[in-house]
Structure 1
Amino acid sequence: MGRAGISHALSVWFDTTLGEAVAFSNAPGQPELIYSQALFPLAEPVSLAPGDTVSVALEARLIGGDYAWRWNTRVLRHGEAGAANPDLEQSTDPAAALSGGAPRWDIGRAPALTETGEVDRLILTLMDDATPLGDIARQAQRRYPTRFSTWRDALTYVGEVSDQYSREPADRG
């Protein structure tokens, strides 16, 4: 660090040089591009002094069409024989942020289905190459009456799931 201060967040941007006259950046003060800068808050304010080194491991995972970010921050103090503050391990995953626990993709987590997941599982289980969509819709409405107030509502949803996951009759084998 060039001067003493207190950091509350990390500001991240992208710079690249592709060739002698080809470069672009979304750094502060540069024209706006497709991608914006990102601000990652720190779990607690960190005092920094000249010569301190801030090390960040940044990870992005595409989950369900959106990115979940994890960032681990370590501050190495200048002149203290490599002494470091405790690492700050953080995530944009709401479950981890609220509970202080592991992110949703943690391999030790045992997830439970949402109601939508339960409905989809019922529909997919009944899509057995023998049960008509109308019967599947009746069972879905019977099992989830607050979600499907009419058989037609259930049939519409069952049809959407079927469109997404069913094979054409000629493809069945």
Structure 2
Amino acid sequence: MSPRVPAFPFRFEMYSLETYGSMMADRVRLAAYGEALRHAVHPGAVVADIGCGSGIFSLMACRAGARRVFAMETDPIIGVAREAAAAHGFSDRIVFLAGNSACLELPERADVLVFDVRGILPHFGRSMATIMDARKRFLAPRGAIIPQQDTVWAALSGASSFYQDLISPWSGDTCGFDMSAARHAVLNSIHRGCFQQTQIVGEPQRCWVLDYATLDNPNAAAEVTFEIERPATAYGCFLWFDAVLWEGVGYTTAPGAPETVYGTAFFPWLEPVGLAPGERVCAAFHADLVGSSYVWRWNTAVYAAGRSPQPRIQFRQSTFFGELLSPGLLNRLSPACVPELNEEAAVDRFLLERMDGHISLEEAARACAVRFPERFAGWEEAFEYASRLAGKYSR
């Protein structure tokens, strides 16, 4: 795969068509899922495909002998999946369900639950909550889950050029201007990259294992220690995962492995750190689900040789500090805020109240243009706005 493969967004958002294309181009991922489905799906089996995307796993399940596949997806890409099913003669076996799986019901339990709702790392969007809900409500007793397990690893990073590329636009002189105000946000963000094994400093450490048959917590936390054996400079940490889809079937996103659409996650430090033999680096990682996204924290302490009780360097970082939040927005997000609808929200409410199953979209748009003449030049403009709302909220 090309190094220009578009990254998964780290915060939850809809994938672009380009990203879906990159997922289709990831032969490492597709080959592993295809093999796992051949093992798990027996003739006549029922399969639940969570976040089916373009439908490739559903097609694979049908080819493996599935009697029925329930393919669930919130994105309009589900239209592509429907067309692909028809093109391969599987329309009578795949039931497409547009919507969030947490809000859907299935008429029968599935023998196999398949999903890939990861981002750069498994904790992405509401992935863990989605998996736990689907396993509880959709999977038959003794049913199979693909993937079975993800193991997340961490290692110190010696990726000097990658680090410099991150901070150089926000350091020093840029056409005579100091643009360093964004540097702190960049260094409190998680970045996707494709790295070499030689860029790992020292020995990797295991953070956590996600066993999807027993997973009961959407959050994750781990503390790991890296013992320094030779002089090096570290710029942060790599995190990646080893996926087990079926016994003997899987892949890894580790530095040096064949490139995948996920890439490897880079957690930068606030500054590079020179390390000497005998020193140790203690790193704590936390992934906490807040609303529809994860807030990550990574705290680092570097201890001099000789088991010094006090660290010589400490960093406390979080993706929260990587968000570009204005004081006004922070005030509006505070528990003490007494919010008042802005004009756009008032327009939305006006239109949504009229989507009651009795009023046509044109009627609602015409009324909206009259009610908000300063917002819309005419009913046609209001209709365009209303149609977007209807596409998102109506049934």
Offset at 1:12? 1.8
Any idea what the Cα deviations from partners look like across 1:69-91, whole Å, max 9, x if unmatched?
52322224142433223332131
Confirm or deny that 1:36 pairs with 2:263. Answer: yes
In structure 1, what is the Cα distance between the partners aligned to 2:235 and 2:338?
33
When Rg is computed on C-alpha atoms for both structures, the one with the higher figure is 1
The Cα shift of 1:62 comes to 8.1
Please state which structure has a larger fraction of its residues in helix: 2
Deviations 1:47-83 (A, max 9, x none): 333331231314265877xx66523222241424332
Q: Tell me the TM-score normalised to structure 2 length.
A: 0.32
Inter-CA distance 107–42: structure 2 relative to 1 (3 Å threshold): farther
1:94 to 316, 320, 323: 323
User: Residue 87 of structure 1: SS of its match in structure 2?
Assistant: strand
User: What is the match of residue 75 of structure 1?
Assistant: 301
Q: 1:31-70 alignment to 2 at 5 Å?
A: 31-50=258-277, 51-59=279-287, 61=289, 70=296
Mapped to 1, the partners of 2:370 and 2:243 lie a distance apart of: 57
Among 129, 134, 139, the residue aligned to 2:371? 139
CA contact (8 A) 1:120 1:161 kept: no
Q: How many Å separate the matches in 2 of 1:63 and 1:19?
A: 31
Q: TM-score, normalised by structure 1?
A: 0.63
Q: 2:388 aligns with which of 126, 142, 160?
A: 160
Question: How far apart are the structure 2 equivalents of 1:164 and 1:18?
Answer: 34
Q: Matched residue of 1:159: which SS?
A: helix
Identify the match of residue 128 of structure 1 among 347, 353, 359: 353
Higher relative contact order (CA 8 A, sep 6+): 2
Describe the superposition over 1:25-58 as per-residue Cα deviations: whole angstroms up to 9, x where unpaired. Answer: 1111111223211122212223333331231314
Contact 2:253 / 2:264 at 8 angstroms: preserved in 1? yes
Q: Aligned pair in 2 of structure 1 residues 24, 113: CA closer, same or farther (>3 Å)? A: farther
CA shift in 2, pair 1:113/1:163, >3 Å: farther
Against the structure 1 CA distance between its residues 113 and 59, is the aligned structure 2 distance closer, same or farther, given a 3 Å change threshold? farther
Residues 1:20 and 1:126: Cα distance change in structure 2 (over 3 Å): closer
Residues 95 and 103, structure 1, Cα contact 8 Å, conserved in 2: no
SS in 2 for 1:143: coil
Gapped regions of structure 2 (runs ≥ 5): 1-227
Task: State the SS of the aligned residue for 1:152.
Answer: helix
Identity rate, percent: 21
* Residues 1:107 and 1:82: Cα distance change in structure 2 (over 3 Å): farther
Q: What is the count of residue pairs matched by the alignment? A: 155
Residues 302, 314 of structure 2: 8 Å contact kept = no
Which structure 1 segments of 5+ residues have no match?
168-173
8 Å contact kept, 2:253–2:263: yes
